[in-house]
Structure 1
Amino acid sequence: MRTHDVLIVGGGPVGVMLAVALADRGLDAVVWEARGDDPAHPRALGGHPPSIDLFDRPGPADDLLADAVRIRKGIARSGTRTVGVVPFDRASSRWPFVAAVPQDRTEAVLRTGLAARRDDALRRGVRFVGLEQRDEDVVVRGVDDEGPVVVAARFVVGADGTRSAVRAALGVDTRDRDLPDRYVMGDFADTTGHGPDAVIHLERTGVVESFPLPAGRRRVVVHAGSAHGPSAPVSADDVARLVSDRTGSPVDPATSTMSSAFGVRRRLATRTVVGRVVLIGDAAHEISPIGGQGMNLGWLDGHALETVIAAAVKRRGGRVLDPTTFARFEAGRARAAARAARRAGWNAALGRPVGGGAGRARDRVRGAVRRAPSRHGLASVCAMRWA
């Protein structure tokens, strides 16, 4: 049985990004992905400056940015008034913007980059079943259409999402909190006239977030009340009506290419390292998608991890594991996840419906923050320079 340096479970953007980085370090890293097909619908869409740095390897960065809308500022509006502007020009000297590109395109760029390095690194249609840790490696069991699949690896990375099977196999608990918010979103033809700017409509009946997409489209995300029980299906007409009612700008539902609804949950794994197995991305921390931090946080997990794993493999071929190998990584990423979760909670609270004096007070606070010199620091936070 062959022993790989690293087996990554989960072939989404976080797992494949890590595989690219490890390949660039000369490591034998392979990826198992249960899905046989590419994702059908775009989800996350923002590449923040630290993440663009990670794409800046031979090939992927230029490919990603060629398709991206470069968002250089966010505009906060309430009714017909502009209450503040958050510029991204100081968030990074090299990448003074957030790159808006749908997740399906991002994943395609990453898969192409990985295939250019090693064309058999990504194995589709393999579902993780379980693992057994030994002194010098980990035996990992999976299954595909032809039957059982068994490999060994010095280290295993669980990048398999919010319902992580790797996390379950390790017996790692999570600290969960469901927030009382429901959102709907959709992608439509952009008739707003806002160009490459992101616009946040801070309305008394709930927030409307609006982000430019490539090819003359725009994504809108709308607070749709409290979440009680399973989310009901949502149509393009539903999303368009909410946006038009709150912002006064008409949205044509006939131009929709996607609509969906989601609730907000915070889930943090109580441990992200167990022996030779490490959890990253949504397997380690699920936070609100509002603010676009989740995928970027996972990429930064991988960036921190690649250095640790590369050093560990070089020491006696990774056969001997120092118990403190991942200690600093685990502590640092736990702090980053907690900060991101707090910010996601603030974003959710600021987007909820309010009325009367509370609404006017909140508008004043929002406007003061976004007009003050601190808006440049706020831009750095939004662009995840701290993570």
Structure 2
Amino acid sequence: MTTERVDVLVVGGGPVGLFAAALLAARGVHVAVWERRTADPTGSRAIGIHPPSLDAFAAIDLDGPVLAEATRVRAGVARSRGRDLGTLTFDRVSATHPYVVTLDQHRTECLLRDRLADLAPGALRVATTLTGLERHPDHVDATGTGPDGGSVAVRASFVIGADGARSATRGLLGITTRGRDYPDHYVMGDFADVEGAAARSAAIVDVGPAGVVESFPLPGGRRRYVVLVPDGSGVDAPRLASIVAERTGTAPDGASCTMLSGFRVRRREAVRVGVGRVVLAGDAAHEISPIGGQGMNLGWLDAAELAPLLARAVASGAPGPWPDHARRRQAVARRAARQAEVNMALGRPLGGLGTIGREALLRTVLSLPTADGLAGVYAMRWA
């Protein structure tokens, strides 16, 4: 078995790993990516791309291709029981991108793959699974299984574990996680957008008494609905459309559904972000609730901060680790997790008096001069 030599091995070829690899390749770092999946990206699970991520994409000239396909979300509207409670506009959240955009995850991944192929042809190795790590003072030896079932090996100066919430990299390092599971069940689906023309560029959050219904415009005249349900099992597309209609008065066509998925929520944080020359990024380091659309963006911003550190270390021979980086990124992830918890709490079912109180609170908060600051919070200006 021949051992390949690279500067940085990225384990995980999802959105975070691809972006980290592209950032490193743009800085002249010899990089390889091991991705266990064999098929091309599919599905539209994570859709939100926030202004700081778009700014980070500019480093590899990816902001233009993303914006060419994405839908711009320029405002967020809070509703309850058929009435608007207030609106947050994103006009002032960023000097470069005064909006949040949505794009199906598989399209974002394809654009990232294309950009990595331009910067480092052949760097992405699909159907390749990490099985072993041996750390040394000046390098890391990684072993795995390749597309034909045979063994593969890489000797790298550094390894990035961007392989998700069930990270093999984290497991091989013996790093544990801490966190909690939440009782909330959600079902989400993509339907033809039946909102009025004025709402086609708005995210709508309906916090009625039966539980939250969030919706976001998508490219191609579609809209993503995310619905809190007592139990996600047995909710098919017609039933989801019916729940949306019952709670909001807006009736999507169940037959137009192109994606349906249920999920529960948990929060996890790795007790360490890395060991020596191996560092974790994205969900491998911190997993948070999908409510609020922050998780993928957190991973991209991990990569944006980590890439220059690694590039300088490769050039200078510095060994790492970077405790300041770890502290900053985990602190940001904790803030995002707390925000997601607030979002979930605001969307849980309430009785009559509770619903009236929630509506009054949101009307007041959204009418204050500080609403611009709140829009910045939801657009991740702080990340």
Calculate the TM-score normalised by the size of structure 2. Answer: 0.96
- 1:219 is paired with a residue whose SS is strand
Q: Which residue number corresponds to residue 200 of structure 2?
A: 195
- Deviation, 1:339, is 0.3
Q: How does 1:3-14 map to 2 (within 5 A)?
A: 3-14=5-16
Asked if 1:185 is matched to 2:183, the reply is no
Paired position in structure 2 for 1:361: 357
Match of 2:79 in 1: 77
- Partner of 2:43, secondary structure, is coil
Supply the AA of the counterpart residue of 2:159. V
Match of 1:293? 294
Q: Is the 8 A contact 1:190 1:216 kept in 2?
A: yes
**Structure 1 pair 347–95 and aligned structure 2 pair: CA distance change class (3 A):** same
Find the counterpart in structure 2 of residue 36 from structure 1. 38
In the alignment, what sits opposite 2:218? 213
Paired letter, 2:200: G
Q: CA deviation at 1:2?
A: 3.4
Mapped partners of 1:348, 1:283: distance in 2:
23
Q: Deviations over 1:70-111 (max 9, x none)?
A: 111001111221111111111101100001111111111111
- 1:39 deviates by 2.9
Query: Is this contact kept in 2: 1:76–1:200, CA < 8 A?
Result: yes
1:314 has 2:315 as partner: yes
Aligned equivalent of 1:327: 323
**In 1, Cα distance between the equivalents of 2:155 and 2:226?**
43
Distance in 2 between residues matched to 1:285 and 1:361, nearest whole Å = 33
> What is the CA-CA distance between 1:3 and the residue it aligns to?
2.3
* Closer/same/farther in 2, CA of residues 154 and 72 from structure 1, 3 Å limit: same
The counterpart of 1:148, out of the listed 151, 168, 173, is 151
Paired position in structure 2 for 1:157 = 160
Paired residue secondary structure (1:31): strand
Determine the structure 2 residue equivalent to 1:252. Answer: 253
Report deviation, 1:233.
Answer: 4.7
What are the equivalent positions in structure 2 for 1:227-246 lying under 5 Å apart? 232-246=233-247
Q: What does 1:21-60 align with in structure 2 at a 5 Å threshold?
A: 21-57=23-59, 59-60=61-62
Gap runs ≥5 in structure 2:
none
Shift of 1:148: 0.5
Give the conservation status (yes or no) of the 8 Å contact 1:234–1:260. no
1:233 touches 1:261 (CA, 8 Å); kept in 2?
no
Question: Is 2:382 the counterpart of 1:386?
Answer: yes
Distance 2:170 2:13 in 1: 16
Residues 5, 27 of structure 1: 8 Å contact kept: yes
Q: Which residue of 2 aligns with 1:284?
A: 285
Partner-residue secondary structure (3-state), 1:385: coil
Determine if contact 1:273/1:326 at 8 Å carries over to the other structure: no
SS at match of 1:337: helix
AA partner of residue 237 (structure 2): A
Q: Provide the secondary structure at the position in 1 that maps to 2:92.
A: coil
SS in 2 for 1:220: strand
Q: Of 352, 367, 373, which aligns to 2:348?
A: 352
Q: Confirm or deny that 1:92 pairs with 2:90.
A: no
> Hey, what does 1:136 align to over in structure 2?
138
Q: Distance in 2 between matches of 1:172 and 1:371?
A: 45
- Offset from partner CA, 1:272-327 (integer Å, 9 cap, x none): 12111101101111101010000000000001101211121121xx3x525xx411
Q: Deviations over 1:47-83 (max 9, x none)?
A: 1000001221454211110111111100111122111
Give unmatched runs, 5+ long, in structure 1.
Answer: none
Contact 1:154 1:276 in 2 (8 A): yes
- Given that 2:189 and 2:237 are in contact with CA atoms closer than 8 Å, whether structure 1 keeps it comes out as yes
Q: CA RMSD in A?
A: 1.2
The amino acid across from 1:62 in the alignment is G
For the pair 1:168 / 2:166, whether they are aligned, the reply is no
Q: Please say if residues 35 and 127 of structure 2, whose CA atoms lie closer than 8 Å, have aligned partners that are also in contact.
A: yes
Deviation per CA, 1:239-269: give whole Å up to 9, x if none. 1111011011111100000111100100111
- Asked if structure 1 preserves the Cα contact closer than 8 Å seen for 2:141 and 2:156, the reply is yes
Distance 2:60 2:354 in 1: 51
Percent identity of the aligned residues? 50
Matched, 1:116 2:112: no
